[in-house]
Each structure stands twice: as C-alpha cells, then as structure tokens.
Amino acid sequence: MSYYGGTIELESAEWNDKKAVEYELAQAAWGMRLNVWYDLFHWNKNIVCADKRAAINKLASMPDWNGVLYHMDVPDTAAIKRLVAAERKAEERYREVCAATDIHNRKSKTITCKACGSRVELARFKGSVCPVCKKSLRSESARERVDRAKKAHEAAVERLAAARAENARKHGELAWMLSYIERC
C-alpha cells in the first residue's frame, strides 16, 4: 500500500469556528478528490507561525494529519527589507570567507594534518577535514574567520526571523496550513 501527502491552505476568516474550518477543508479535499477525514486532524491553535514557509517547516517536523495557524499576506516593511539585504550580505560574506580559506587553493599537492600528522593528497578528496582523524585541515586563524562569518550570518537570520514574526503578529491575518497523508 502506498501513501502520498501534501498540504492544504485554508484561508478561513473564521478560524476560531472549527466547523467553518472543517467545512472549508471538506470543500478543498473534495476539489482535490481526496479522502481526507477531517476528524483525524489535530488542530493546533497554539502554534502560530510567522508565514507560510514557517508553517510548512513546522508541519514537516510533526506527525501527519496536523493543522497549524500561520499569518498570511503580510507585506515586508522597510526595516525588514533592510534586514533582508543585511542577511544576504552576511551570507555572501560567509561564502567568500569559506572559499578564500579553502585548503584546495594551495599550490602544494599535499597537506599535513596538524592533529594526527598524516600527509593528505589534495587531489584525492573534497572537503577540508582530514580523512584519517576527521579534524579540520584549515589553520586556526582560518577556522576563526569562518566561525565569525558563520555566527554573523546566523545572527542576521535570527534578526530577520524575529522581525518578520513581529510584523506578522501585528499585521497578518490568520489561516490554516494542514498536512495530510492520502492512502491509495
């Protein structure tokens, strides 16, 4: 027996009214010719995601037949657009630092691991860790540069997510995002 699944978006203005949401779900399922039993759904009113992408990610981490609320149609403010630009710049900087400190940029054909002392031929493998001891082959200063760039990018991503969540909480309308499994 095989299964396939997906998500259904319900843009119900009366999200507090479970019957209205279930009716809309039944209409959507009928339109998609699905045998969705809406009494099997776990309606998670306490989980409110900032946007559609966050709702899909949340549903991917949950068991099947779940519904979560998300804020829809929230326009980005000028502050969020600045944070998006800062996040892209931080990501670009992180990629540049990783490329600049890559061990394959060396002129020599071999490199010695400082942790275990093995000599590694660069043409035989990809990556920047020793195949013997799994320690980084980058220098200490290069690892610090990569770590700083990575932390700066992660901080920019967190600031952007927090700003989008706050904007959605203030200005977004709520809708249901449902995950389902269809038996065929």
Ranges of the chain whose pLDDT falls below 50: 1-4, 184
pLDDT of residue 146: 94
What confidence tens digit (pLDDT) does each residue in 128-144 have?
888 888 888 888 999 99
Task: Say if residues 136 and 154 touch (Cβ distance below 8 Å).
Answer: no
Measure the CA–CA gap between 2 and 33, rounded to whole angstroms.
Answer: 17
Task: Say if residues 80 and 55 touch (Cβ distance below 8 Å).
Answer: no
Measure the CA–CA gap between 139 and 73, rounded to whole angstroms.
Answer: 47
Task: Say if residues 68 and 180 touch (Cβ distance below 8 Å).
Answer: no
pLDDT of residue 2: 35
pLDDT of residue 93: 97
pLDDT of residue 150: 96
pLDDT of residue 129: 86
pLDDT of residue 5: 57
pLDDT of residue 1: 27
What confidence tens digit (pLDDT) does each residue in 47-57 have?
888 777 888 88
Reading the block at residue 138, the tokens are 């980058």
Domain ranges of the chain: 3-75+170-183
